[in-house]
């Protein structure tokens, strides 16, 4: 799958692009079944709140051939290469779980904040791709973005603790107020299988899931090998140190070889 010139121009302007139903129902069903299997494994790479609430998991490619293939899926990798160039590796791979009536909320931040602060990523060249495992509605804690905020580069931040994960360099209210006055707020909603691609300097946040429905999302973050992290301080399941470039696998391969 490749992006049109118009889509690329929109991405450069807004810092994100959203596709409804990019993945088929059978692909999402397989990824959800495999997610349940991964979450049942006793792994240090899981993310949990002190209360025991399950918040997510990371580095799924280490324990799941299906999730390893997803990283190489030509639909994702081809679009990423159009946007940030060839020779990409995966810096971070995670599933964020928003349980029904769950407490997880994420403060306003740019992904490049933690990647620079904790991992020593040199330049803000990476992108993230969110894949919806569930329908995302206004009720179950959608991510809220500020279109155009990526053009500001890395903004001044305050590092604040967040349950279940490493502290997040977060944007002060005054910064968010200014950015939102310029770009507005945008929360892409859509069925399972939808995909949002966003720049690592995009300001975003999300609130709690108020609904009885889960909101589980896969995130994979591609970074050029030439921009590999220099001074990692976190375990590798938060910030990979395998800088081998990913080679695209055909779409049919995703479900072709079993879990
Ligand atoms: O899934 C979400 O609601 C937000 C996740 C996020 O912003 C992050 O993990 O950096």
State the pTM of this model. 0.96
Q: Compute CA distances 27 → 2, 42, 129, 250, whole Å.
A: 20, 25, 16, 14
Cα of 206 vs centre of ligand 1, distance in Å, is 7
Cα of 205 vs centre of ligand 1, distance in Å, is 7
Please give the angle made by the CA atoms of 151, 9 and 215, to the nearest 5 degrees: 75
106-109: strand order across its sheet:
143-145, 204-206, 106-109, 168-170, 158-160
Superfamily for 29-256? Answer: q2cbj1_9rhob like domain (2.60.120.620)
Cα of 218 vs centre of ligand 1, distance in Å, is 10
Q: Which atom of ligand 1 is nearest to the CA of 204?
A: 7
Q: Helices 74-84 & 65-72, crossing angle to 10 degrees?
A: 40
| Domain residue limits, the chain | 29-256
Of all protein residues, the one whose alpha carbon is nearest to atom 1 of ligand 1 is 96
The whole-angstrom separation of Cα 122 and Cα 230 is: 7
Total count of residues recorded for the chain: 259
pLDDT in tens, the chain (259 residues): 789 999 999 999 999 999 998 999 999 999 999 999 999 999 999 999 999 999 999 999 999 999 999 999 999 999 999 999 999 999 999 999 999 999 999 999 999 999 999 999 999 999 999 999 999 999 999 999 999 999 999 999 999 999 888 999 999 999 999 999 999 999 999 999 999 999 999 999 999 999 999 999 999 999 999 999 999 999 999 999 999 999 999 999 999 865 6
How many other C-beta atoms can be found within 10 angstroms of the C-beta atom of residue 36? Answer: 8
Q: Which residues lie across from 195 on neighbouring strands?
A: 19, 131
pLDDT digits (tens, 9 = 90+) for 105-161: 999 999 999 999 999 999 999 999 999 999 999 999 999 999 999 999 999 999 999
């Amino acid at each position: 799958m490749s992006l049109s010139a118009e889509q690329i121009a929109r991405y450069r302007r807004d810092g994100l692009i959203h596709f409804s139903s990019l993945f088929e129902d059978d692909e999402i069903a397989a990824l959800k079944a495999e997610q349940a299997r991964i979450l049942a494994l006793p792994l240090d790479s899981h993310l949990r709140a002190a209360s025991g609430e399950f918040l997510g998991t990371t580095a799924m490619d280490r324990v799941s051939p299906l999730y390893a293939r997803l990283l190489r899926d030509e639909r994702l990798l081809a679009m990423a290469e159009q946007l940030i160039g060839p020779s990409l590796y995966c810096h971070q791979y995670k599933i964020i779980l928003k349980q029904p009536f769950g407490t997880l909320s994420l403060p306003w931040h740019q992904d490049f904040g933690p990647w620079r602060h904790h991992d020593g990523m040199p330049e803000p060249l990476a992108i993230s791709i969110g894949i919806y495992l569930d329908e995302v509605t206004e009720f179950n804690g959608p991510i809220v973005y500020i279109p155009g905020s990526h053009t500001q580069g890395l903004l001044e931040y305050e590092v604040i603790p967040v349950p279940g994960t490493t502290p997040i360099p977060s944007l002060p209210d005054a910064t968010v107020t200014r950015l939102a006055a310029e770009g507005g707020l945008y929360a892409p909603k859509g069925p399972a299988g939808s995909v949002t691609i966003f720049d690592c300097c995009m300001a975003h946040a999300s609130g709690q899931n108020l609904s009885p429905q889960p909101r589980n999302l896969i995130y994979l973050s591609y970074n050029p090998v030439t921009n590999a992290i220099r001074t990692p301080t976190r375990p590798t399941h938060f910030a990979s140190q395998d800088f081998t470039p990913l080679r695209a696998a055909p779409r049919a391969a995703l479900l072709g070889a079993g879990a």
